[in-house]
Amino acid sequence: MSNSIIPILRALETDPAIIKLAEGHPIPYVGGLFKVHQDCFYPFPPALLPIFVDDGNPSIVGLLKHWFLERDTTIINYDLETGTFTEKARNGIQFIADLLLKMDMLEDGLTPEITQFASDMQYQELQDIDEHAEEYGDVPQDFYHLQVIAEDPPISYVPDLQYYKGDFPASYRLLNQTQLEKACSFEVPRDWATEVQLPAWMDRNANKQQLFDQYLGNKELDKAWLTLNSRGWVISDAITALNQLTTYSSDPIFLQIVEHYTTGWKTANRLHLNY
């Protein structure tokens, strides 16, 4: 299954550096945290396109790609213990910068291996990484001081929403409340449920299959999609619902993703899992 994600990444015009890593290019020093996602083991919703997995601290890194509504495609970290997506990078070059910063901190400076990796990824501002590591370390709240991050920072790294240009709905510290109606439950840390009124599909007690059927019957495809990508599904039922949506979209990339998701889980024979 791992290689079948590559045509989808190319079709989505994903940054070439991300594609190179997804194809198996070695990541020095921290590669154990970013193993190429090989098969369907940990359950995830179809809006997530997994690229890397960390089994030690169970998490998945991949693209978040929404359909049937206007949303940016972004790179997220899926913490499997909390069941939460966090926006990790707004583009591929930010993801590479994050990797390089981790390497620099681990090795206490640049090494030939780090320099070669940056060259392979066509990352030009390596000295900035080293200077940032020296001044700020790898504290996520300080990442926005890096120029490559500051230009369009992920919501996880901004001190205030005034610095955020994207459409991700929340971080653990900030709530981008105007985006809640365009988000799935995984994108909103559970603690926010006690602070604001969340959409019906984020209600952990709602019957997601019934809610999906209701939205689909009303041709509210955006809400049906967000319901499908919120907590409360068995994989086998999610696959059925996902394939129902193909009636309403002939987009070849969407159809590729549906096939990828369906085939991956059926091949793994883990249709009983739930997310």
Taking the domains of the chain in order of start, what are their residue ranges?
Answer: 2-195
Question: Could you give the percent of the chain with pLDDT greater than 70?
Answer: 99
Confidence of residue 15 (pLDDT cuts 50, 70, 90): very high
Say how far apart CA 209 and CA 227 lie, in whole Å.
8
Between 48 and 1, the more confident residue is 48
pTM: 0.95
- Tokens representing 176 are 């981008």
| Confidence at residue 4, expressed as pLDDT on a 0 to 100 scale | 83
For residue 39, the 8-state DSSP code is S
- What's at 240, amino acid-wise? T
Q: Which of 108-112, 121-125, 134-138, 218-222 has the lowest mean pLDDT?
A: 134-138
User: What number is the average pLDDT over the span 147-171?
Assistant: 95
User: What number is the average pLDDT over the span 147-160?
Assistant: 94
Confidence of residue 56 (pLDDT cuts 50, 70, 90): confident
Say how far apart CA 87 and CA 45 lie, in whole Å.
16
| Confidence at residue 212, expressed as pLDDT on a 0 to 100 scale | 98
* Residue 23 pLDDT exceeds 60: yes
* pLDDT tens figures, 211-253: 999 999 999 999 999 999 999 999 999 999 999 999 999 999 9
User: What number is the average pLDDT over the span 85-109?
Assistant: 97
Q: Report whether 130 contacts 109 (CB < 8 A).
A: yes
| Confidence at residue 2, expressed as pLDDT on a 0 to 100 scale | 47
Q: In 10 A of CB 162, how many CB atoms?
A: 6
User: What number is the average pLDDT over the span 150-173?
Assistant: 95
* Residue 208 pLDDT exceeds 80: yes
Collapsed DSSP state (helix, strand, coil) of residue 40: coil
Nearest CA among 99, 100, 92 for reference residue 34: 99
User: What number is the average pLDDT over the span 163-188?
Assistant: 97
Question: Could you give the percent of the chain with pLDDT greater than 90?
Answer: 93
- What's at 250, amino acid-wise? S
User: What number is the average pLDDT over the span 14-21?
Assistant: 97
Say how far apart CA 87 and CA 183 lie, in whole Å.
13
| Confidence at residue 220, expressed as pLDDT on a 0 to 100 scale | 98
* Residue 1 pLDDT exceeds 80: no
| Mean pLDDT for all residues in the chain | 96
